[in-house]
Structures are given as C-alpha cells and as structure tokens.
Structure 1
Amino acid sequence: MTRLFARLLVLAAFASPALGEEPAADPLTQEARAAQNLAIASAVQAQLLACWRLPSGYEGKAISVRLAFLGDGTLDGDPYVVPESLRTAGKYPVLMTSIGEAVERCLPFAGLEALGAEAGERFDITVHFQS
C-alpha cells in the first residue's frame, strides 16, 4: 500500500508587530530560531498528514500548496496552489478537494505556542501533498 506523506518546506517565518509597536529583541540565536521554525513546520506537517485522506485512484500524484498561519494555529489568508502544481490541480479537482478538506479538518493547528510560536507570529510554508 502506498504510504501517504506530506513534506513541508519552510520558506519564511517572521513576526509582525502591531502598528506603532517596536519589534521586541529576539532572544534566540539564528540557529535556535531556525530549529524552532523547523519544529513548528514539522508539527503542522504531522497534523496535515494525519488529516489528509487520499481519494482512491489518485496514487502517484503530487500537488504543492502554500499557506500562511499564525502562531495560534489559525490561517492567515487562503491557501493556494503553487504555480508548478496548477496543471495537476486543474486535472484532479477531487484531489484538490481532499487537500482543502485536510486543511479545514486540522484547523486550528495545535501545540504551536508550546513550541515557541507567539500568537501573532506569522509563518509561510509550502506543503507538498503526494502519495
């Protein structure tokens, strides 16, 4: 049986201070921040993997989706298909529906603040859904 998996590539993660506020000094080293971001991305990956149900007959397909979320686990905007996956996404709407349902089932992503994410901190990742 084909094992399902989703891989995340952390493209960028940054904090957005409220208007008029000075950004707080980051007490983490660059390496520690990178490790923290990887842990947060891995947590989201694990949750999405657990939520995704590959429709029968769609084995061997891959679609990459970009999404942004906040440290409290809520989405920040709508996820979208990356340009490289648009052709596949257009050919397989049932597969796209399964990905959208996985995101909805997983929201809000849990446990991110325990990994060091702050409620207003924004993360931008690409998720590669493939089987």
Structure 2
Amino acid sequence: MSEQNAKRDWSKVNRRASRIVNLRLTPEEEAEIESRAAGEQTTLSHYLKAAALSQPVTRRVSRRQSTADVELLRSIHADLGRIAGNSYQIVRAMNFGRNVPDEEATAILKDIRAALVRTREQLFTALEREP
C-alpha cells in the first residue's frame, strides 16, 4: 500500500451507491416529485436521496434528458460518413499506385473540409453550445 493511501481517511471517500430502494407512489405524487426535481435541475433519484437525508439539493442534470436535436445529429452522422468515404477514395487510389490528379484530390479535400466545417457548426448547434 502506498504512503498516500495509508494516510487517506477511507471513511470519507465517496463510494458509488449500490443499493436500490423501491418506492410506491400515486401518479399524482410521482408527477409532483418529478416536477420538483426538474425545478431543482437534478435527477429524481438525487432529489429523493437529498430530501430523505436532509441534505441540500445540488444541480445534477439527468443523463437521460438530452436536449440534443436528433435530426441534426443524424445529419452530422451522414456528413461524417461522406467524409470517411471521400477520404477512403483517396487512400485506396494511392494504395493501388494510382496517381490522383491534383485537381481531383483538391476537389475531394475541399469537400471534406467543407463537410468538417459544417459538421462542427451542427455539433455546436445540436449541443446548444458556442463555438
């Protein structure tokens, strides 16, 4: 055991929760609790745990509540497929000893660059972030 581990107070180390507790609620109670958790921008599980243990509720956005635009992500996926296909064409031609004309390579590389720029912009839009 390293010296650092020997000095560590293991009682204070955060351990991943491993127990599952079931709870029976009416549909109205469930809706109310979910609404309160959403108002606190936290998961239902975290909200209930914090309330039960009289701890402050901290922001913890659920991983399941994605705000990403699915259609935009599909478009990005398609662009990435085109980029891969164009790149493969150049590499394959070179591997077979074919000289790729400068004009053809330049055109393909311009297409790839345009698709990458478009994909980057779409990703930022889908993830609601600024570039």
Query: Which TM class, normalised by the smaller chain length?
Result: under 0.3
Please identify which structure carries the higher strand content.
1
Please identify which structure carries the higher helix content.
2
Q: Name which one, 1 or 2, has greater alpha-carbon Rg.
A: 2
Normalised to the residue count of structure 2, the TM-score between the two structures is 0.24
